[in-house]
Amino acid sequence: EVQLVESGGGLVKPGGSLRLSCAASGFTFSSYSMNWVRQAPGKGLEWVSSISSSGKYIYYGDSVKGRFTISRDNAKNSVFLQMNSLRAEDTAVYYCTRDLGRDISCYDYWGLGTLVTVSS
Amino acid sequence: EIVMTQSPATLSVSPGERATLSCRASQSVSSDLAWYQQKPGQAPRLLIYGASTRATGIPARFSGSASGTEFTLTISSLQSEDFAVYYCLQYDNWPRTFGQGTKVEIK
């Protein structure tokens, strides 16, 4: 059974940092691109970042570019999101997602999410 | 950035009726369009990908279609568990972009 379990969320002050982790199981992690998608309270879904299966290709949304860094450890079946210079507008539930397939980069599995709250 | 526009924002439907949701892309996304269902407090669930292919385990009452940059999700006969928010996602170009969502509520 595919499982994605996020951790690392919490309350942080503006300008602070957090590192989110996503532990994957139930599939060959190193074969799949992985992503982070967020959802502000009461709002819609926003794609944040993606990383290819090898980690060679990385993409960011404009709202987080230069502040967030995605990475992965295929030996530990994990993907990470380092978030620096956090702003109030980064407050959201952050979901870890898996690409459906090699050439189908929509998201078939989602974690339960981890809440990040940026507030003084 | 490709803008995905969903309509209507809210759709009021009686159980057993048909629901038709729309998603328009600001430019071509080929068939790289997915639909998601999200219920309160839950993660989104993939319904449709490739504009018209049902994901694993999705009931046949859910169908997707496309005409150019206009995409449609049809729920043929709404069940109680189908009342939720639905999002479209284009995965043809970077950045990936979602529509703003359509809430399907009980009439």
Q: What's the mean pLDDT in B39-46?
A: 97
Q: How do B102-106 and B10-13 pair as beta strands?
A: parallel
State residue A43's pLDDT score: 97
Contacts of A88 (CB under 8 A, 6+ apart): A14, A118, A119
CB contacts < 8 A (A, B): 57
Identify the pLDDT of residue A102. 83
User: Do the Cβ atoms of A45 and B94 come within 8 Å?
Assistant: no
B-chain residues near A45 (CB < 8 A): 36, 38, 44, 87, 89, 98, 101
- Residues A14-28 have a mean pLDDT of 98
The whole-angstrom distance between A62's CA and the closest CA on chain B is: 8
Candidate from A47, A104, A112 with C-beta closest to B96: A47
- pLDDT score recorded for residue A103: 82
Residue A117 CA to residue A86 CA, distance in Å, equals 9
Class of residue B27 by CB neighbours under 10 A (exposed 0-12, middle 13-18, buried 19+): exposed
Q: What is the pLDDT averaged over residues A23-42?
A: 97
Whole-number Å distance between alpha carbons of B99 and A58: 23
pLDDT of res. B81: 95
Cβ contact B44–A59 (<8 Å): no
Residue range A4-19: mean pLDDT, rounded: 98
Confidence of residue B58 (pLDDT cuts 50, 70, 90): very high
For B51, left (φ over 0), alpha (ψ -120 to 50), or beta?
Answer: left
Average pLDDT of the residues in A12-37: 98
Query: If you average pLDDT over residues B18-42, what whole number do you get?
Result: 97
- Which one of B56, B97, B99 has the shortest CB-CB distance to A47? B97
A71-119, pLDDT tens digit by residue? 999 999 999 999 999 999 999 999 999 999 988 899 999 999 999 999 9
Tell me what pLDDT residue B9 has. 97
The alpha carbon of residue B98 is apart from the nearest alpha carbon of chain A, in Å, by: 6
d(CA B66, CA A55): 33
Which H/E stretch holds residue A106?
A: strand A104-110
Residues of B in contact with A105 (CB under 8 A): 32, 91, 96
Does residue A65 carry a pLDDT above 90? yes
Range 21-80 of B in CB contact (< 8 A) with A:
32, 34, 36, 38, 43-46, 49-50, 55-56
A106/B94 touch (CB, cutoff 8 Å), yes or no: no
Q: Is the pLDDT of residue A27 over 90?
A: yes
Query: With bands split at pLDDT 50, 70 and 90, how would you rate the model's confidence at A5?
Result: very high
Q: Evaluate if residue B100 carries a pLDDT over 90.
A: yes
pLDDT in tens, A77-89: 999 999 999 999 9
Whether chain A has a CB inside 8 Å of the CB on B2: the answer is: no
Q: Do A45 and B44 touch (CB under 8 A)?
A: yes
